Structure 1
Amino acid sequence: MTKALIVIDVQESFRTRPDWAEVSNPDIVGQVNRLVDLARAENDLVVWVLHSEPGSGGPFDPASGHVRLLDGLEPREGEPMLTKTAHNAFTTTNLQQTLTVRGVRDVLISGIRTEQCCETTARVGSDLGFGVTFVTDATATMPLKHWRTGAVMSTSDIIERTECALAGRFASIATVGELTGSSLTGS
């Protein structure tokens, strides 16, 4: 086993927020499941990661009941389920050890938010020496409001910026179709 699919924060917490109505990829579960099927068929590791903010009282507080995978995602026995409290999936988990012990050298990144937890995980993974493939259409994000001007960055602009920042520096960029050899977008 030299590859792993990392599924980051595809969790109910996001669906409880008002900005979910503007999500860039309403079929995130379908796209992630296509990658999960591919990884399992190739005997690659699938790692599930959830974001948690204990004591925050918000949707990422485990007490809310929303820190769980979105319906339709089904981890199998033996697939690690990690809980993080940082933006990337490495810093507050044993992800690096989990991958290293299993001989993983390359990771595929998928999940929610494209520019936040997914991008940050890709950057850290690259810095740790992993080959990183960022599967943009298996990520999702919502529009971002500029903290000072109030201008709103669209999801397509966020995705384009993320791909530009990562490509050739921290990751290769791929689509689900390119990886699965299919042009289908959701089944």
Structure 2
Amino acid sequence: MQALLIIDMQKEMQHRIDSGRDHVDPQAPARIAALAAAFRAQGRPIIHVRHRDEDPASPFHPLAPGYPAMPCAQDRDGEPVFLKRTSSAFASTDLQAHLHARGITDLVVTGAVAGFCVNSTVRAGADLGFRMTVVRDAVLGFDLPSDRLSARTVFDVTMALLAADFVEIVDAASILSA
């Protein structure tokens, strides 16, 4: 069985975009919303992952304005929400057990951030035997200003490394038309 996995689409991502931070892909939230609507219409599972940090100074602290889900990633109708404290959604949650208990073997991955939590989660999922598909144009990527790496460079290298050995990379249109 296949499920949609939405990673870390929290308001902090929108705050980064609104602040002018170099990023890829500004249409990702709309594509995530479209994918979620399609999965819901077909009765297929959607799983949400959010980052939670207990440090009060963190934008992912539960009381921080960046913590809530973006509108495109609001959970509905009992869709599970896993709160992680690590980069990988598998390392600090019971996501793996949840997937196995429901017979979910394939994950369609969207969300943020390409070079970090999406990357870590996808690699861990592949290592655990899940079939991982990344929806390239439904993933946000940001720059690494301290290393003077553009968002496009980080994103393209991340996708290329994932495609080389871990996952299938597709566009939202191919999932929506399937």
TM over 0.5: yes
User: Structure 1 CA distance, aligned partners of 2:165 and 2:55?
Assistant: 36
User: Structure 2 CA distance, aligned partners of 1:31 and 1:144?
Assistant: 24
Over the matched positions of the two proteins, sequence identity in percent amounts to 28
Calculate the TM-score normalised by the size of structure 2: 0.91
Moved more, 9-18 or 82-91: 9-18
Paired residue type of 1:4: A
The match for 2:175 is 179
The match for 1:78 is 78
Q: How many residues align?
A: 177
User: Structure 1 CA distance, aligned partners of 2:136 and 2:19?
Assistant: 18
The match for 2:14 is 15
SS of 2:165's equivalent in the other structure is coil
Paired residue type of 1:83: L
Matches within 5 A, 1:1-187: 2-17=1-16, 20-21=19-20, 22-146=22-146, 150=147, 152-181=148-177
Paired residue type of 2:14: R
Moved more, 9-18 or 80-89: 9-18
Paired residue type of 1:154: S
Residue 16 of structure 1: how far off its partner (Å): 3.3
Residue 84 of structure 1: how far off its partner (Å): 0.5
Calculate the TM-score normalised by the size of structure 1: 0.87
Paired residue type of 1:55: D
Give RMSD over aligned pairs.
1.9
User: Structure 2 CA distance, aligned partners of 1:55 and 1:158?
Assistant: 27
Decide which structure has greater helix share: 2
